[in-house]
Amino acid sequence: MLPIDLSGKRALVAGVADDNGFGWAIAKHLIQAGATVCVATWPPALNIFLNLLERGKLDASRRLADGSLLSFEKIYPLDAVFDALEDAPAELRENKRYKDVGDFSITGLADRVRSDFGEGSVDILVHSLANGPEVKKALIDTSRAGYLAAVSASAYSLVSMVRAFGPLMRRGGAVASLTYMASERAIPGYGGGMSSAKAALESDTRVLAFEAGRRYGIRVNTVSAGPYASRAASAIGIIDDMVTYCEGNAPLTERLEATEVGAATAFLCSPLASGITGATIYVDKGIHAMGMAVDGGTVPARS
């Protein structure tokens, strides 16, 4: 056997607000591998998430292979469009969903982790964050504000998090994020600057792999996941069509499962992947390899 062993390692997964998305699946796989996991949640979703956990509504999804229920070491608030609390407008800080959670910025999150666990206390950082307020608009119709908001929330937030958490991470640690094939191929309907944000995320992954590797001795990779009908992805508006298209045209026609992305990310963050950095790893049933649609039909095998 060649197990993924993350015993004694601490992970922070940013972008977990329910049990339906890639962030939850990644956190669960890291725990299955032996890591302790903290999560960071968008403040407007934080109380709902905590209530679901406390009322046992997520217990089925929390079930681990040994029958026990996963638990998170800490659950923090995070709005990753703000590097520091003073960057958030006063009206947002006074909003009822924000005012009682403390410092919800990226720097605030790093300071909380440092206060709770000390320096050199993080081994794995997962960026499962993306938002484009105008994602349903064609790129040509996207406003400057909408475009920059998509890049800020979905790409620059990774840069900011690596800067804030690099000093907290042990050498040999790993950073992983989530991207999508729209970074390199035109996906009609995936608009609002999100394709540009994903392209920036992949480019930044390569540069951060060099800079954070030399400065902190950590690895930085991104996972290009295929379309998956999570609650968050419903904001795209065409997610069901995207999933159906992949079923009909990918080399492997089964629908992508979040657990497959979770397993691949756990591998990338483990010592088994110690030689991998600056990479975009596709977990998409092979759809990225296709250059021609097959219209949902079956292509006969040829000898």
What amino acid positions are annotated as catalytic residues? 180, 190
Q: Dihedral through CA 28, CA 30, CA 31, CA 32, nearest 10?
A: 80
Q: In what order do the strands lie in the sheet with 280-283?
A: 75-77, 36-41, 10-14, 122-127, 169-179, 219-225, 280-283
* SS3 assignment for 165-205: HHHHEEEEEEEEEEECHHHCCCCCCCCCCHHHHHHHHHHHH
Q: Which residues have a Cβ under 8 Å from the Cβ of 122 and sit 6 or more positions away?
A: 10, 11, 12, 113, 165, 168, 169, 170, 173
Nearest to 13 by CA among 88, 74, 63: 74
d(CA 201, CA 222): 8
d(CA 17, CA 32): 19
8-38 burial string, b = 16+ CB within 10 Å, else e?
A: ebbbbbbbbbbbbbbbbbbbbbbbbbebbbb
